[in-house]
Amino acid sequence: LFVALDVTPESQRAAIHCTVNGEPVTATFPVHRILLDFLRADLGLLGAKLVCDAEICGACTVLVDGLPVSACTYLAVEVDGASVRTCEGLGSDDALDLLQQSFVECGAFQCGYCTPGMLMAVTALLDEEPRPTREAIAHHLAGNLCRCTGYQKILTAVEKAIDTRMAAGGKQ
């Protein structure tokens, strides 16, 4: 049994207060802690994925104060005072949000590894621009790589979510 001991001296630790998916979080960790490790290992939020570890693929995308960031290269200490959103905050097992539901209905994933990052990147886009064109969606997702779907079903799923929301008066 291997147990990793955190022997970081107190002088190299940081304390933060933030919200994660609307819940207040207070934490202390080494100043070099990466946001993705904080979310996955410390908070147990396993949606955001580690793939490239180099801010290239977008699989680790989460929102910090509404803006998409690559959690694999973002220091956890930088979210002090901020609002963090991950895909776990979009819907629940019993009630997917509109975008998640649309991904399911359109078959917009296969292995699903890229999906949490795609969902969060699109969420940021739709918060800014409720009716982007297909081209604008594709441009916005240029930093989110998918090895499986060929991208077309992802774009179709986003368009379907937009259409459904518009049909409901833009309220969903």
One residue of 8, 97, 148, 153 binding ligand FES per CB under 6 A = 148
Q: Which of residues 113-132 bind ligand FES (CB under 6 A)?
A: 113-114
Minimum CB separation of residue 48 from ligand FES in Å reads 8
Minimum CB separation of residue 51 from ligand FES in Å reads 4
- What residue has token string 């368009």? 159
Q: Which residue, 56 or 136, is less far from ligand FES as judged by CB?
A: 56
One residue of 127, 134, 147, 168 binding ligand FES per CB under 6 A = 147
Q: Which residue, 130 or 150, is less far from ligand FES as judged by CB?
A: 150
Indicate the length of the chain as a whole number. Answer: 172
Minimum CB separation of residue 47 from ligand FES in Å reads 13
Residue 166: what are its φ and ψ, rounded to 5°? Answer: -65, -40
- Nearest in space to 70 (alpha carbons), one of 57, 88, 85: 57
Q: Which of residues 47-86 bind ligand FES (CB under 6 A)?
A: 50-53, 55-60, 70, 72
Q: Which residue, 141 or 146, is less far from ligand FES as judged by CB?
A: 146
Question: What is the distance between the alpha carbons of residues 161 and 132, in angstroms, rounded to a whole number?
Answer: 12
Question: What is the distance between the alpha carbons of residues 105 and 84, in angstroms, rounded to a whole number?
Answer: 27
Q: Which residue, 15 or 104, is less far from ligand FES as judged by CB?
A: 104
Question: What is the distance between the alpha carbons of residues 27 and 155, in angstroms, rounded to a whole number?
Answer: 37
Counting Cα atoms < 13 Å in the Cβ hemisphere of 105 gives 14
